[in-house]
Amino acid sequence: MSDHEYQPKSKAGKWFNDRLPLLTLGAHLTDYPTPKNLNYWWTFGGILTFCLITQIVTGIVLAMHYVAHADLAFGSVEHIMRNVNYGWLIRYIHSNGASMFFLAVYIHIFRSLFYGSYKSPREIIWILGLLIYLLMMAAAFLGYVLPWGQMSFWGATVITNLFSAIPLVGESITTWLWGAYSVDNPTLNRFFSLHYLFPFLILGLVVLHIWALHIPGNNNPVGIDIKKPSKDTVPFHPYITIKDAFALLMFMIIFAGFVFFSPNVLGHSDNYIPANPLVTPAHIVPEWYLLPFYAILRSVPDKLGGVILMFGAIFILFVLPWLDTSKVRSAVFRPIYRQFYWIFVIDVLMLGYMGAMPAEGIYLVLARVGTIYYFLHFLVVIPLVGFFEKTDPIPMSISEPVLSGGAEPSLAKKDNEKI
């Protein structure tokens, strides 16, 4: 990288940069050599940054009108919807923005899983990303409690009660989380405080995530190490910025579609009923982005076991870089893993569907099958496939199959098909 040689042109710029090298950072971000074959699955990093900023900006505005009190919260949200200028728009952007954020993050994660972006030397990027994902789930849950509707209240009750499954100290931990003997006003108050905090923690982790990314540089669809800068790379600006901007515009069309045409389709109508500690809604479900984990929780007929498996489903992702025994990153060159990858995608989607259905009969059976397969995928399939699979030959560089006609013509063809 040519960062070290960067010199601002103006005298003032040089004076400033000698004292705080922000301009060097800017030049690094602009020139950052990026693989030239990045496809549209690589645009979700930028989209996610947009989502985070959108949530922070709309959230700060909503906090100017919202009241975090058990007696007033529900009314203050309706006040935002009816009285505050453009309050309906800002709240709908914020509530649908959470769903859009998760949609983008799931695509981003599954992109990593397909192209092996979590593998050496990118393990820390992967782990930082998972920490961001965990904080996102926490922030989304905390935020969902704030309107103090029936789903808010009972969602908070069920999720905080997960901690009561911990032997010995469980009850004390839930009481401590509540600040009362049930979900009550102190709970709402602290949830608001933490909901305001978490996005900034996420922002800090995003900086580390990008910093860690800029050490090895981007993975790419072919999944090979490339020389930087070289004929395999392009500068981040304008090549990637313009591609990211186009993808972001497409994404915003979908986002706006939800906000303006069906702002409540992803929510639950019960949350427009004020919280009532005496009545549990007949069918309580979490938001769609938590459904696969909810299905795993319910598939275990034991309280502690269900909680352990649910958290295990997330934490197993942290050790994925060490469970994967294959040295080949991209699934493009892994004919067996590629098939298991798609089975896994279907498994997660099925678990999500089961999480939305009542936990009985065939749904429960399928949820159990899905749960078992989820863990088999990570604990058995991934280690074994990496060991036994015969991978396709890998090109020496991104340009090779194109420029030299390919040392391996069959390979060049395969490449074109997939990318």
Partner 1 sequence: MSKEEKNANRRDFLFTASYTVGAVGLGAVVWPLIDQMNPDKAQKALATTEVDISQIEPGKSITVLWRGKPVFLKRRTEEEIAEARAVRMDDLPDPQKDEERVKEGKDEWLVMLGVCTHLGCVPLKDKGDYNGWFCPCHGSHYDVSGRVRKGPAPTNMEIPKFEFVDNNTIKIG
Question: In the complex, which residues of this chain contact partner 1 (CB under 8 A)?
Answer: 154, 157-158, 160-162, 164, 175-184, 186, 190, 277-284, 298, 300-304, 306, 358-360
Closest CA to 156 of 192, 190, 187: 187
CA distance 337 to 138: 32
Angle at which helices 123-145 and 185-213 pack, to 10 degrees? 160
Least spacing, CB of residue 159 vs partner 1, in Å: 8
Q: Which residue bears the tokens 């009972």?
A: 154
CA distance 147 to 156: 12
Closest CA to 198 of 249, 147, 243, 142: 142
Are 335 and 418 a contacting pair, CB within 8 Å?
A: no
CA distance 255 to 263: 10
Angle at which helices 361-376 and 303-315 pack, to 10 degrees? 40
Least spacing, CB of residue 111 vs partner 1, in Å: 34
Give residues with Cβ within 8 angstroms of 69, minimum separation 6. Answer: 185, 188, 189
In the numeric block, which tokens belong to residue 109? 């994660």
CA distance 56 to 74: 21
Closest CA to 113 of 309, 293, 343: 343
Least spacing, CB of residue 183 vs partner 1, in Å: 7
In the numeric block, which tokens belong to residue 281? 């809604």
